């Protein structure tokens, strides 16, 4: 098959839109050349702009099944832990078929809003018998069905809380031992589609994995050049429980025990101590913030402005998938901090552009967190691109200089016309 050459009116390159660029895609689904001139385009997209596909660094696809629920509060106070009971109720109801359908639906919605890669933080391993790891294959199958690139972030989950046995719905997440978990990781390796599927590892949280096993997981992941993700300090209660058992905060304990660097991503860090965060950032690790979910669950607002100012690598996740729109996640990341600090212009990127800074969070940093070649339109990268309809009413009035800001601050996914993953048009 000969190379394809895609040319839109405008292509997003190095933080700005350039005209007349041709993006050449090889038979391997990767970009082989970006530049002006050369061979005539095989696909000329007029009235369109090309941007890199978004990277969703944190998702639990099955939680899409909770949409429309858990938003009425007749008696109990509505907090994270009450919401978690609702989520466990959903877990009890999901058989293999419905689980697969919900995941496909969720991944399709992601593609339609320009997400070309999902980091699926997957802990729901077992069917109703609580044995085997059949649901791992279902997630991979759902991603293949939808056409999305996936990094299956395979989660170890061993305790109900620190030192506590698994209970109820949690039994469908559990590994009986570290060894059993690793055995399954190695089985999953053989099931991955080499072009669009990778595996990373997860220690679900300090609540769900003993610290010694978290350290072992990290060593195993590092040896195999896999990324490691973990929920860290989303809720104050997690910090209190950890202080009680370990006399340290979760992040403090991880810094003390685990020699991590850029391969590690801590998800949320909503209540992380400023001193711990400085050490975390100095090690080059990533922070994944999930603005819509954190707002929905009433988690709190993280110190993301300070993280960004200190050079923290911040990426984004749709987490509970109650609402899926990456442009909205980007805006809420910025707006949460504006509301907190009563000031504007937090995630400033090149030339002081907030849209450019937020774009990097939603693309390049996500790719860094998942360790995959995507997140920018450049030679060697996967051809994961999104086509923006420049005639969409939401964009009316755009100029070359204002286009990115109009997109990030004024649009929803309705302006997205097509989506390409690894050189294939999937939407």
Taking the complex as a whole, how short is the minimal distance between the CB of residue 74 and Zn ion, in angstroms? 26
Output the CA–CA distances (angstroms, integers) from residue 2 to 23, 27, 32, 73, 372, in the order listed. 14, 7, 12, 58, 25
Given 9, 136, 299, 319, the catalytic residue:
319
User: Shortest Cβ distance from residue 231 to Zn ion (Å)?
Assistant: 6
User: How many Å apart are CA 407 and CA 412, to the nearest integer?
Assistant: 8
Q: Select the span of 188-196, 203-211, 312-320, 354-362 touching Zn ion (CB under 5 A).
A: 312-320
Active site residue 268: yes
Supply the minimum distance, in Å, between the C-beta of residue 23 and Zn ion: 34
Instruction: Supply the DSSP string of 163-209, one letter for each residue.
Output: TB---GGGGGT--SSHHHHHHHHHHHHTT--TTTEEEEEEE--TTTS
Nearer to Zn ion, 7 or 319 (CB): 319
What angle do helix axes 326-341 and 354-362 make, rounded to 10 degrees? 130
Q: Which is nearer to Zn ion, 152 or 420 (CB)?
A: 152
Contact string (CB under 5 A) for Zn ion, positions 61-80, x = contact? --------------------
Please say which residue, 62 or 178, places its beta carbon nearer to Zn ion.
Answer: 62
Cβ neighbours of residue 73 under 8 Å, at least 6 residues apart?
none
**Binding piece for Zn ion, criterion CB under 5 A, among 186-194, 269-277, 315-323, 406-414:** 315-323
Closer residue to Zn ion, CB minimum distance, 319 or 356: 319
Question: Least Å distance between CB 61 and Zn ion?
Answer: 11
Stretch that binds Zn ion, among 28-36, 269-277, 319-327, 395-403 (CB under 5 A): 319-327
- Among 218, 268, 271, 382, which one carries the catalytic annotation? 268
Question: For Zn ion, which residue has the nearest CB?
Answer: 319
* Residue 319 or 329 having the CB closest to Zn ion: 319
Report 361-420 residues binding Zn ion (CB under 5 A). Answer: none
DSSP 63: G
Closest alpha carbon to 138 in 95, 74, 175: 95
Size of the site for Zn ion (CB under 5 A): 1
**261: left (phi > 0), else alpha (psi -120 to 50), else beta?**
beta
Q: Which stretch binds Zn ion (CB under 5 A): 79-87, 253-261, 311-319, 395-403?
A: 311-319
C-alpha to C-alpha distance for 66 and 58, rounded to whole angstroms: 17
Per-residue DSSP letter, 271: T
Active site residue 319: yes
**Distance, CA of 15 to chain centre:** 21
CA distance 76 to 261: 41
CB of 60 to Zn ion, least distance (A): 6
Whether 384 contacts 52, CB under 8 Å:
yes
Helix (H) or strand (E) holding 341: helix 326-341
309 is written with which tokens? 């100012």
Residue 288 or 390 with smaller CB distance to Zn ion: 288
Query: Using CB under 5 A as the criterion, which residues of the chain lie in contact with Zn ion when the complex forms?
Result: 319
Which sequence positions are flagged as catalytic?
Answer: 268, 319
């Amino acid at each position: 098959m000969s190379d394809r050459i895609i040319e839109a009116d405008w292509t997003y390159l190095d933080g700005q839109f350039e005209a007349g660029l041709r993006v050449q895609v090889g038979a391997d689904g990767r970009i082989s050349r970006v530049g002006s001139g050369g061979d005539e385009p095989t696909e000329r997209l007029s009235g369109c702009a090309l941007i890199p596909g978004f990277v969703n660094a944190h998702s639990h696809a099955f939680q899409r099944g909770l949409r429309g629920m858990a938003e009425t509060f007749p008696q109990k106070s509505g907090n994270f832990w009450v919401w978690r009971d609702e989520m466990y109720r959903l877990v009890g109801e999901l058989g293999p078929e419905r689980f697969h359908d919900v995941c496909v639906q969720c991944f399709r919605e992601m593609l339609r809003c320009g997400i070309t890669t999902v980091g699926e933080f997957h802990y729901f391993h077992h069917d109703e018998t609580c044995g085997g790891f059949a649901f791992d294959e279902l997630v991979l199958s759902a991603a293949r069905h939808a056409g999305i690139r996936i990094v299956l972030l395979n989660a170890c989950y061993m305790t109900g809380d620190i030192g506590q046995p698994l209970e109820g719905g949690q039994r469908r997440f559990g590994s009986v031992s570290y060894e059993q978990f690793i055995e399954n990781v190695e089985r999953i390796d053989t099931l991955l589609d080499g072009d669009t599927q990778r595996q990373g590892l997860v220690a679900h949280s300090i609540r769900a994995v003993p610290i010694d096993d978290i350290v072992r997981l990290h060593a195993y992941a590092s040896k195999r050049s896999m990324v490691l993700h973990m929920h860290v300090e989303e809720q104050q209660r997690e910090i209190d429980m950890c202080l009680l058992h370990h006399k340290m905060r979760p992040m403090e304990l991880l810094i003390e025990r685990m020699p991590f660097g850029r391969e590690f991503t801590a998800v949320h860090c909503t209540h992380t101590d400023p001193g711990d965060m400085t050490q975390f950032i100095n090690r080059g690790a990533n922070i994944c913030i999930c603005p819509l979910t954190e707002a929905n669950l009433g988690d709190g607002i993280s110190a993301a402005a300070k993280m960004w100012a200190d050079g923290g690598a911040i990426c984004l996740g749709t987490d509970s998938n109650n609402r899926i729109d990456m442009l909205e996640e980007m805006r809420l990341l910025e707006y949460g901090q504006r509301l907190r600090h009563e000031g504007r212009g937090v995630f400033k990127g090149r030339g002081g552009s907030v849209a450019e800074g937020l774009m990097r969070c939603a693309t390049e940093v996500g790719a860094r967190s998942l360790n995959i070649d995507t997140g920018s339109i450049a030679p060697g990268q996967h051809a994961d691109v999104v086509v923006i309809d420049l005639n969409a009413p939401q964009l009316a009035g755009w100029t070359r200089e204002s286009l990115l800001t109009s997109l990030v601050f004024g649009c929803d996914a309705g302006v997205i016309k097509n989506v390409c993953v690894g050189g294939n048009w999937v939407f």
